[in-house]
Amino acid sequence: MNPINSHSREVRELTSEKTGKIYGINGPVIYLKGKNGFKMSEMVYVGKERLVGEVISLDKDLTTIQVYEETSGLRPGEEVTASGAAVSVTLAPGILNNIFDGIERPLERIAESGGAFITRGVSVDELDKEKLWDTHMTVGIGDLVHGGMIIAEVPETRAIVHKCMVPPDVEGKVISVVPDGQYTIKDTLITLELADGTLKELSMTQRWPIRVPRPVSERYPASVPLVTGQRILDTMFPIAKGGTAAIPGGFGTGKTMTQHQIAKWSDADIIIYIGCGERGNEMTQVLEEFSELVDPKSGNPLMDRTALIANTSNMPVAAREASIYTGLTLAEYYRDMGYDVAIMADSTSRWAEALRELSGRLEEMPAEEGFPAYLASRLSAFYERAGMMQTLNGATGSVSIIGAVSPQGGDFSEPVTQNTKRFVRCFWGLDKSLAYARHFPAIHWLSSYSEYLNDLSGWYSDHVSPKFVDYRNRLMAILNQESSLMEIVKLIGGDVLPDDQKLILEIARVIRLGFLQQNAFHKDDTCVSLEKQFKMMDVILYLYKKSRRLVAMGMPMSVLKAEGIYEKVIAIKYDVPNDNLQLLDLYKRDIDEFYDRVVEKNA
């Protein structure tokens, strides 16, 4: 399928407007009888109110359309008009610091025209067509340009420079250029002479069909981590820039919180946050909070690097299915400019359920748990659009996808979790019992994994410390030993264990409470640099080393515990401010003193 830019689309609309008549209506699905020349995945306008819909199946005498808006009030016989183009998004400055519904209609504009409640058939521009943007042209007359090349730069927000590009399928010679100045997204910036001699005018705006990945030149292997400031993620289960991760967990285990934390603190340039079938209040919260919070890197409000797609659970189900692709396409567009983009998809299960709901309405043969058989292929196609890429203009950009999964009944064996697991390389499994004990983030260290660990170990030794991965593995080993020891403790109690095993339990406790647990509401603990993460590991392992020596000398654990050093180390996360990491060095001295004291007292 070829992308269709706005210009040729309008022409086509004028020349041949294809129409059909509604025959049947069943929830968000409507049927048309007879041939009408509609195309698969084409966007259509339904009925007098011109509700937006998409063609999802065609046969000789029946056309099936899913409608992105509430269908009550539609009558058989009303007209359906083809738009000539696949369901597409408009790409131009104005996307960031904005909130859209599932098909890229800005909610602010909808509110202006319809009030607090979202009415149907609202026709608003996707992006502000009147606003004047400061534009700096980067091409001159006579330049040969091809798809992806940057023709102009526009400071879109304080944090991000929007790079206007030639649409991927266009190539030609520049024959006129406007001077630097203020332009709207509709204004022609350059005129090209194409290979066949025809002229083509380019503005800042491109359109791109949401279900088609934007082309790139090359895909790079994962090599740089997406640093999130969350210890359990960065140290234990890191995700690469351009990587994919799934966060599955029952309700109340903290999927949304984890996504918020990553959206706030990760070192991506741009965040696309997709609220797919989730709570309205949560989207409001993101909007409020991100407008107030300051990006630690640039000092600007977080919203300046964020675009929100909100399709809350009570908005029409078909648009929920589309919202994921809309977000993905926006992300790819910014990737093509050379940015690192991270997508938060909350939640992919709602998207899968939207597929199931529509599939049920279409009376398709259900596979597992009523989900359609194409669930797996849709999921894989979605996650494969992530990656670290060389863009068409030679820059490097990435799209990382972090998808929340809401398994039914919190049971990870259900189809969405299982199929997602096959296509992501990072699995951050949330655990109910941790959440019940209010251990947050409730990511369970035994069931989670990251396949990026080896790919990224080189980066960690170059940029943090050569010992980083080794330390990380030692912490994991202690946690694993704890888990097997706990089996015994559950049967006979902890008192009968020998002291060296009691020590392992104690150190594991320090790791769990002091390192893995992280308080999102504490100013120093909410985001932690890799350097601090490394030093914390260093202190914990040093404590382990010294304690082991004491235990080997025959000191009982009760004596060691009485010194209070373990509590002190646990409190590092609160007691050492992020701007004063030298304090951490004092802890080793404290541990040495603790060692001497114990030896002295019990000699």
What track of x and - describes contact with other proteins for positions 375 through 394 (by CB under 8 A)?
--------------------
Q: Which is nearer to other proteins, 2 or 433 (CB)?
A: 433
408 is a contact residue toward other proteins (CB under 8 A): yes
Q: Which is nearer to other proteins, 182 or 251 (CB)?
A: 251
Question: Where does 193-279 have alpha helices with state H?
Answer: 231, 255-265
Name which of residues 19 to 58 contact other proteins (CB under 8 A). 23-27, 31, 33
- Tokens standing for residue 295: 């990006």
490 is a contact residue toward other proteins (CB under 8 A): yes
How distant, in Å, are the alpha carbons of 68, 103, 432 from that of 318? 5, 10, 31
What strands lie across the sheet with 161-165, from one edge to the other? 161-165, 150-155, 133-137, 181-183
Cβ 82 to other proteins shortest distance, Å:
21
Q: Nearest CA to 355 among 343, 366, 341, 344?
A: 366
Q: Tell me the site size for other proteins, rule CB under 8 A.
A: 85
The rounded distance, in Å, linking the Cα atoms of 309 and 320 is 10
Cβ 446 to other proteins shortest distance, Å:
17
What HEC string does 261-321 produce?
HHHHHCCCCEEEEEEECCCHHHHHHHHHHHHHCECCCCCCEHHHHEEEEEECCCCCHHHHH
350 is a contact residue toward other proteins (CB under 8 A): yes
Cβ 55 to other proteins shortest distance, Å:
19
Q: Which is nearer to other proteins, 409 or 554 (CB)?
A: 409
Name which of residues 421 to 440 contact other proteins (CB under 8 A). 432-433, 436-439
374 is a contact residue toward other proteins (CB under 8 A): no
Q: Find out whether the peptide bond into 316 is cis, omega within 30 degrees of 0.
A: no
Q: Nearest CA to 138 among 151, 119, 129?
A: 151
What track of x and - describes contact with other proteins for positions 76 through 115 (by CB under 8 A)?
xx---------------------x-------xx-xx--xx
Cβ 305 to other proteins shortest distance, Å:
19
406 is a contact residue toward other proteins (CB under 8 A): yes
Q: Which amino acid is at 160?
A: I
Choice from 287, 381, 395, 581 touching other proteins (CB under 8 A): 287
345 is a contact residue toward other proteins (CB under 8 A): no
Choice from 367, 513, 559, 581 touching other proteins (CB under 8 A): 513
What track of x and - describes contact with other proteins for positions 293 through 322 (by CB under 8 A)?
-----------------x-xxxx-x-----
Q: Nearest CA to 3 among 65, 76, 69, 89?
A: 89
Cβ 68 to other proteins shortest distance, Å:
13
Q: Which is nearer to other proteins, 260 or 335 (CB)?
A: 260
Give the burial string for 189-224 (b: 16+ CB within 10 Å, else e): bbbbeeeeeeebebbbbbbbbbbbbbebeeeeebeb
Q: Nearest CA to 262 among 441, 104, 475, 472?
A: 441
Q: Judged by CB under 8 A, which stretch of 51-59, 68-76, 462-470, 527-535 contacts other proteins?
A: 68-76
- Tokens standing for residue 500: 């060296």
Name which of residues 545 to 584 contact other proteins (CB under 8 A). 564, 567, 570-571, 574-575
The rounded distance, in Å, linking the Cα atoms of 73 and 486 is 61
288 is a contact residue toward other proteins (CB under 8 A): yes
The rounded distance, in Å, linking the Cα atoms of 510 and 520 is 19
How distant, in Å, are the alpha carbons of 368, 532, 571 from that of 576? 51, 9, 8
Contact, 455 vs 532, CB < 8 A?
no
Cβ 116 to other proteins shortest distance, Å:
4
Q: Judged by CB under 8 A, which stretch of 184-192, 203-211, 215-223, 282-290 contacts other proteins?
A: 282-290
Name which of residues 231 to 270 contact other proteins (CB under 8 A). 250-252
Cβ 557 to other proteins shortest distance, Å:
12
2 is a contact residue toward other proteins (CB under 8 A): no
The rounded distance, in Å, linking the Cα atoms of 567 and 561 is 9
Q: Which is nearer to other proteins, 367 or 381 (CB)?
A: 367
Q: Judged by CB under 8 A, which stretch of 185-193, 197-205, 355-363, 465-473 contacts other proteins?
A: 355-363
Cβ 460 to other proteins shortest distance, Å:
29
* Residue 422 burial (CB count, 10 A): 10
Q: Which is nearer to other proteins, 135 or 253 (CB)?
A: 253
Q: Which is nearer to other proteins, 88 or 349 (CB)?
A: 349
Name which of residues 457 to 486 contact other proteins (CB under 8 A). none
